[in-house]
Structure formats: C-alpha cells, structure tokens
C-alpha cells in the first residue's frame, strides 16, 4: 500500500517547467521568458532540426543532458526537451531608468553580480522590496534567475519588484553612471566603512557572488567601495545579510535628512 502511494506521489512537475517538443516550440515562438532549455543528448535528428529552427534569433541558454536527468524532472512525455519558464516578465533597465528620471525620481538599483543561490536571490529580493529598491539588475548568464522557488523564498516580492537581465553587466553599470547614479560596490576589500559612505540619492549598489565577491571589472568601475565592519573571526557575511545591512544603512541615512 505504501509503495503504491509513493509511486503515485513520486512525480509532481515543477511549477516553472514545460515539456514536449510542440509545447516548448510554442513557448519559444510566443517569446515567453525562458530561463533555460534542456535538450536530450543525441535527440532524434528530425525533432532537433525542428527545435533548432524555432531557436533562430533567440538567445535562450541551452543545456544538453542525458535522458536520466529529463526523466527525473518529469514523468511526462518530454520528447527530449524541457524548458524552465520564468514566472515573471523581465524588465529593461534602460526603459526603467528613463521613466524614473522623467518623473524626477532618484533610482535605487540593486546589482547582483553572479549570485547563484536561488534562496539567497529570493531573500535579497524580499529585503529589496521592503526597502524601496526600484529594480534588481542581474547578468543573463552565470546567475540565479527568477524561478518559482525564488518567488516563494522572496515571499512574493519578485512579483512586485522589477528584475532586469543584461548580457553585459559592465556596460549596463556604465549606462547607470552616465544617467547620474553613483555606483557603490559592497566589498570586504575596501578600507572605507559602510557608515562613512554617502548612500543618499540615485545609487546602484553592487553585491558579489557567494564564492568570490564582485568581479574586478565591476570593482574598477565603481565610484566608491564600502566595507561592512566586522568584529568576529569570520571574514565575510552571507550575501543576503550583507544586502539587508547596506540597504538599511541607506534608509537610515535618508531618514535622518
């Protein structure tokens, strides 16, 4: 009886998954937001050519995997292709900034440089929404994207705060600078304590990856680098905690004015 129940409960498709050749091709042709597409290694030639044709001019991340991986994701007839669709529509950073500036607002952008943990991403988004961040900017590759798990971890914040993807994070940061935003990099490599940095006004705050922080190109582009003072033996904070501290410091400074 227990074995029957386990077999019945074994497969429950993730909320952000679609599968089957026709379903995936229709999603591609409809320009759905797709985080990545898994394709069976050695997929039948005719089916692969049909899929390849639909992908022309698109830039979806593709991953070729064995059938065992596809079978673990869904018990349905996937036909060798599974797509992870984004539960939101990504925004365009240039459009968002232009709209904010036209309204006379002072944009606050949170830039996540290669944050790969989905739960960290969701927790950061929750804090960002609570602190009035106007948008989160992420690279289109090498970063956690908006998934159903990220939305859940964010307590729904990712349905409220715009998320922008960019193919070139450095160019996007340069654009923000040209629009009058100061670029503040939160890094333990800085000698300047966070509380001495002016965070008022239009700002883009960069947080780096869980493993090796902010890339050197982005650090060099930053107008100022800020360090969160630490008194213990451990040399770094969880990136989600760091996000909360720097955003609350910005709020504290602006509430004092």
Query: Tokens for 29?
Result: 């042709």
Q: Are residues 41 and 116 in the same domain?
A: no
Name which of 247, 254, 237, 257 is nearest 130 in CA terms.
Answer: 247
**Phi, psi for 68 (deg, rounded to 5):** -60, -40
Three-state DSSP class for 217?
A: helix
Count the domains in the chain.
2
Q: Do 30 and 123 have their domain in common?
A: no
Same domain, 64 and 131: no
Residue-level pLDDT at 242: 92
Together in a domain, 77 and 97: no
Neighbours of 71 (CB within 10 A): 12
Look at residue 18 and tell me if it is in a domain.
yes
1 is a domain residue = no
Answer whether residue 237 is part of any domain.
yes
User: What's 23's domain CATH number?
Assistant: 3.30.1330.30
Q: Give CA–CA dist 226/188, Å, rounded.
A: 8
Mark whether 129 and 231 lie in a shared domain.
Answer: yes
Tens-digit pLDDT string for the chain (257 aa): 444 444 434 445 556 889 999 999 999 998 888 989 999 998 888 888 999 999 998 888 899 999 999 999 888 889 999 999 989 999 999 999 999 999 999 999 999 999 999 999 999 999 999 999 999 999 988 899 898 889 999 999 999 999 999 999 999 999 999 999 999 999 887 889 999 999 999 999 999 987 888 999 999 999 999 998 888 877 778 899 999 999 999 999 999 87
What residues have CB less than 8 Å from 109, skipping those under 6 apart? 93, 97, 133, 134, 135, 136, 137, 176, 181, 203, 204, 205
**48 and 138, same structural domain?**
no
What are 190's strand-pairing partners?
none
* Domain span at 156: 93-256
Beta-bridged to residue 111, according to DSSP, are 137, 206
Domain-ending residue, one of 44, 61, 85: 85
* 49 and 149 housed in the same domain: no
> Both 152 and 233 in a single domain?
yes
Q: Are strands 108-112 and 163-166 parallel, antiparallel or unpaired?
A: unpaired
pLDDT recorded at residue 13: 52
C-alpha span between 164 and 138 (Å, rounded): 6
Domain co-membership, 71 together with 119: no
3-state secondary structure at position 64? strand
CA distances from 200 to 182, 187, 193 (A): 10, 19, 16
Tell me if residue 162 falls in helix, strand or coil. coil
CATH of the domain at 197: 3.40.1280.10
Residues 36 and 69 in one domain: yes
Residue 107 confidence (pLDDT): 97
- What is the secondary structure of 173-196 as a DSSP string? HHHHHHTTPEEEEE-TT-SSBGGG
Question: Do both 72 and 149 map to the same domain?
Answer: no
Looking at 65, 85, 105, the residue that finishes a domain is: 85
Asked if residue 127 is part of any domain, the answer here is yes
d(CA 173, CA 104): 20
Same domain, 116 and 198: yes
Which of the listed residues 85, 120, 149 is the one where a domain comes to its end? 85
């Amino acid at each position: 009886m227990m074995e029957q129940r386990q077999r019945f409960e074994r497969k429950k498709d993730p909320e952000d998954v679609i599968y089957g050749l026709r379903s995936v091709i229709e999603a591609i042709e409809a320009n759905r937001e797709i985080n990545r597409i898994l394709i069976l290694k050695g997929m039948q030639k005719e089916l692969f050519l049909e899929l390849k044709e639909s992908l022309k001019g698109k830039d979806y991340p593709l991953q070729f995997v064995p059938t065992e991986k596809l079978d673990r994701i869904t018990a349905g007839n996937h036909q060798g292709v599974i797509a992870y669709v984004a539960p939101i529509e990504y925004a365009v950073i240039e459009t968002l900034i232009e709209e904010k500036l036209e309204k006379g607002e002072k944009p606050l952008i949170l830039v996540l440089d290669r944050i790969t943990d989905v739960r960290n991403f969701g927790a950061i988004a929750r804090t960002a929404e609570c602190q009035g961040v106007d948008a989160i900017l992420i690279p289109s590759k090498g970063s956690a994207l908006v998934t159903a798990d990220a939305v859940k971890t964010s307590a729904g914040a990712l349905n409220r705060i715009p998320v922008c993807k960019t193919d070139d994070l450095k160019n996007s940061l340069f654009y923000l600078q040209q629009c009058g935003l100061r670029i503040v990099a939160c890094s333990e490599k800085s000698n300047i304590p966070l509380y001495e940095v002016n965070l008022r006004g239009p700002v883009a705050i960069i947080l780096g990856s869980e493993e090796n922080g902010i890339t050197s190109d982005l650090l060099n582009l930053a107008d100022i680098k800020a360090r969160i003072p630490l008194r213990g033996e451990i040399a770094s904070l969880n990136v989600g905690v760091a996000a909360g501290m720097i955003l609350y410091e910005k709020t504290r400074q602006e509430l004092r004015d």
